[in-house]
């Protein structure tokens, strides 16, 4: 890509809008997507991500962030939860982040929002696929044989904003709070709970009920995302996949939202070559697999059928060579 040439960005999510805004610093942008209205959910990002967002004019209060958090309450290797302190993180409302970025993209004079896919072949500029787990340009997608789904519900929050994480024989539960909101979720390979009552029941019956202390889940439909676990995509030559369109990271092992924003910034930079971006994706897959395999192995239920099957699949993927531009699927 040469400065001044049109960059085409495909997608309707956070990564697409952010990439369009970053790319607009170097030339005209065509953003092929529609600004959706996602369900509210709280996600954790490293504190440094707030600095990256400030480059786009997005401030912490817009994201329901009024302070940073270091504490995590985890019951992973042992049944009783213990408090761990880690690097400073911000707990952001993803729907608020989505709205903040898209509002800026819609107003930006150098961003043309087309509301359609289009533009894959015309024009000499870079084409960036930020279509998320759908990965519209994917030549192939590698996923576990059993799809892991995430079912979540968000409600008004309280003082306890720490990340809570608990392992169960057939998945895991988590809880995370921002300034005014808390999200509770269940992730596993079986049929997901579809409403708040079923979600609470699944968490309680799995021995993770301590996560719900102080919460009263309101009636309502749970948000179900598919898939929640690892997925690796390929794209044809001339297309740069970013975020979940390149690597859908399992939340157990990585900061998917923050890395998608980092991808968006790099892919939009004309000084960063396609070869460098491809090498970054290969390295990201390797690092993510290594971290995820160690996390699964450390789970006290690692020998249960759900975790053992996931672990075996991860081991098989780790023993292969994944080339981002290969159109041949390698199954373990």
Going edge to edge, which strands form the sheet with 111-113?
Answer: 111-113, 29-32, 7-10, 127-129, 239-241
DSSP 144-207: -SS--EEEEEEEE--S--SEEEEEETTEEEEEEE-SSEEEEEEEESSPPP-BHHHHHHHHHHTT
pLDDT score at 220:
75
Tell me the pLDDT tens digit for each residue of 154-181. Answer: 999 877 899 999 999 999 999 999 999 9
Please indicate, yes or no, if residue 75 is contained in any of the structural domains.
no
Please indicate, yes or no, if residue 50 is contained in any of the structural domains.
yes
Q: Which whole number is the average pLDDT over 92-112?
A: 96
- Structural domain count of the chain: 1
Start-to-end CA distance of the chain, whole Å, equals: 36
Pinpoint the alpha helices (H) of the chain. Answer: 14-23, 47-54, 94-107, 196-205, 256-267, 274-298, 305-318
Please indicate, yes or no, if residue 86 is contained in any of the structural domains.
no
Tell me the pLDDT tens digit for each residue of 211-262. Answer: 999 888 887 777 877 666 677 877 788 899 999 888 888 888 778 899 999 9
CATH number assigned to the domain comprising residue 49: 3.50.50.60
CA-to-CA distance for 94 and 92, rounded, in angstroms? 6
Tell me the pLDDT tens digit for each residue of 303-330. Answer: 999 999 999 999 988 877 554 443 333 3
Please indicate, yes or no, if residue 116 is contained in any of the structural domains.
yes
| pTM of the entire predicted model | 0.90
**316, 321, 323, 328: CA torsion to nearest 10:** -60
pLDDT score at 43:
94
Q: Which residue segment(s) compose the domain that 24 sits in?
A: 7-64+94-141+229-318
């Amino acid at each position: 890509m040469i400065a001044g040439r049109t960059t085409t960005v495909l997608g309707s999510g956070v990564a697409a809008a952010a990439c369009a805004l970053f790319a607009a610093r170097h030339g005209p942008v065509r953003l092929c997507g529609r600004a959706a209205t996602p369900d509210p959910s709280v996600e954790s990002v490293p504190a440094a991500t707030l600095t990256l967002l400030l480059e786009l004019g997005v401030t912490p209060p817009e994201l329901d962030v009024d302070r940073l958090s270091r504490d995590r309450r985890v019951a992973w290797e042992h049944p009783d939860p213990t408090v761990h302190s880690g690097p400073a993180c911000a707990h952001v409302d993803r729907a608020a982040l989505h709205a903040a970025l898209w509002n800026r993209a819609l107003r930006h004079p150098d961003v043309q929002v087309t509301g359609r896919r289009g533009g894959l072949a015309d024009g000499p500029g870079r084409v960036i696929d930020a279509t998320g787990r759908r990965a519209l340009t994917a030549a192939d997608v590698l996923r576990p044989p059993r799809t892991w789904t995430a079912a979540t519900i968000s409600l008004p929050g309280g003082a306890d904003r720490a990340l809570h994480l608990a392992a169960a024989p057939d998945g895991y539960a988590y809880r995370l709070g921002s300034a005014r909101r808390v999200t509770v979720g269940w992730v596993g390979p079986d049929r997901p709970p579809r409403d708040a009552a079923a979600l609470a029941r699944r968490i309680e019956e799995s021995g993770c009920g301590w996560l719900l202390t102080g919460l009263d889940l309101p009636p309502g439909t749970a948000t179900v995302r598919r898939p929640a676990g690892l997925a690796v995509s390929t794209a044809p030559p001339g297309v740069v996949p970013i975020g979940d369109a390149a690597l859908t990271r399992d939340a157990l092992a990585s900061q998917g939202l923050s890395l998608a924003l980092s991808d968006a910034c790099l892919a939009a930079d004309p000084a960063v070559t396609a070869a460098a971006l491809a090498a970054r994706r290969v390295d990201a897959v390797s690092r993510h697999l290594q971290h995820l395999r160690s996390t699964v192995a450390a789970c006290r239920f690692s020998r249960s059928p759900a975790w053992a099957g996931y672990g075996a699949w991860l081991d098989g993927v780790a023993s292969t060579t994944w080339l981002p531009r290969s159109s041949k699927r390698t199954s373990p």
